[in-house]
Amino acid sequence: MNLDAALHDVLVAIPLFIYVLIIVSVVARRVYRAMIERGFPKNVAVYYNRKLIHITTGGFIALMLPILFREPFVPFAFALILAFITLYPHISKKEFEWFQTRNNAYEVNFCIAWGATILILWLALGDPWRAVVPALFISFGDAITGVVRNAVFGRRTKHWLGNVAMAFVVIPVGYLLAGVVGVAAGAIATAVERIEFGLVDDNVLIAFSATAVLLLFQAL
């Protein structure tokens, strides 16, 4: 790790970190209250809010990351900090009601998968734009699945309509940033999105399956 680069990245990360906290603790809470006042069921409002946070935090920062950061270490460290911040309410049984639920801590997985895949791919490929492809998949692609399913069914479900919507997002993103390899990564990520078992959710499977595809093609 280059110390000058690390200092630069920390100074860049701090305002982005504050931005994330504002989105999560202020904006998302107000959006939740507005939806509840308009008669949205609590589970629907919470689920929309989770996807809003995916897009406005994970998606936006992933797009800015190759432009603003010099190395992947500081983004990874801040992703772990956010993972702990989102995990602690579950440990203390005091979840943030506007985007967390007692039986689902997958937002913690999102933070870890986002940061870990960027770190792995940046170091392995040496290309920050390809490194953020899986993070964009879980930020934008997985978000659109939830929006579509929530709008159609009013609950969290794994209906294929969400996968179709996801494909229309992640395949073009993959192509723009990684070419044909990105298309393959997007297709596989779309397919595995419907799988969940135990603590391994779609955030983990989408991000790491796309990472595996990018690493495999690099090795070949």
The helix (run of H) or strand (run of E) holding residue 86 is: helix 73-91
pLDDT of 86 higher than 80: yes
Total number of domains constituting the chain:
1
What tens digit of pLDDT does each residue of 127-172 get? 999 999 999 999 999 899 888 888 887 776 777 788 899 999 999 9
pLDDT of 11 higher than 80: yes
Which residues span the domain enclosing 85?
3-219
Least confident of 16-20, 57-61, 158-162: 158-162
What tens digit of pLDDT does each residue of 167-219 get? 999 999 999 999 999 999 999 999 998 887 777 888 999 999 999 999 999 88
Indicate the residue type of 90: H
DSSP string of 145-200? HHHHHHHHHSS----HHHHHHHHHHHHHHHHHHHHHHHHHHHHHHHHHTT--BTTB
Report pLDDT for 162. Answer: 83
Residue with tokens 């490929």: 125
Write b or e for each residue in 2-26: b if 16 or more Cβ atoms lie within 10 A of its Cβ, otherwise e. eeeeeebbeebbeebbeebeebbee
Name the average pLDDT for the chain.
93
Q: Which pair of tokens denotes residue 80?
A: 């772990």
DSSP code at position 201: -
Report which of residues 194 and 41 the model is more confident about.
41
Averaged over 29-37, what is the pLDDT?
A: 96
Report pLDDT for 193. Answer: 86
Report pLDDT for 202. Answer: 87
Report pLDDT for 96. Answer: 93
Report the predicted TM-score, pTM, of the whole model to 2 decimal places: 0.93
Indicate the residue type of 97: E
Could you tell me the pLDDT band of residue 16, with boundaries at 50, 70 and 90? Answer: very high
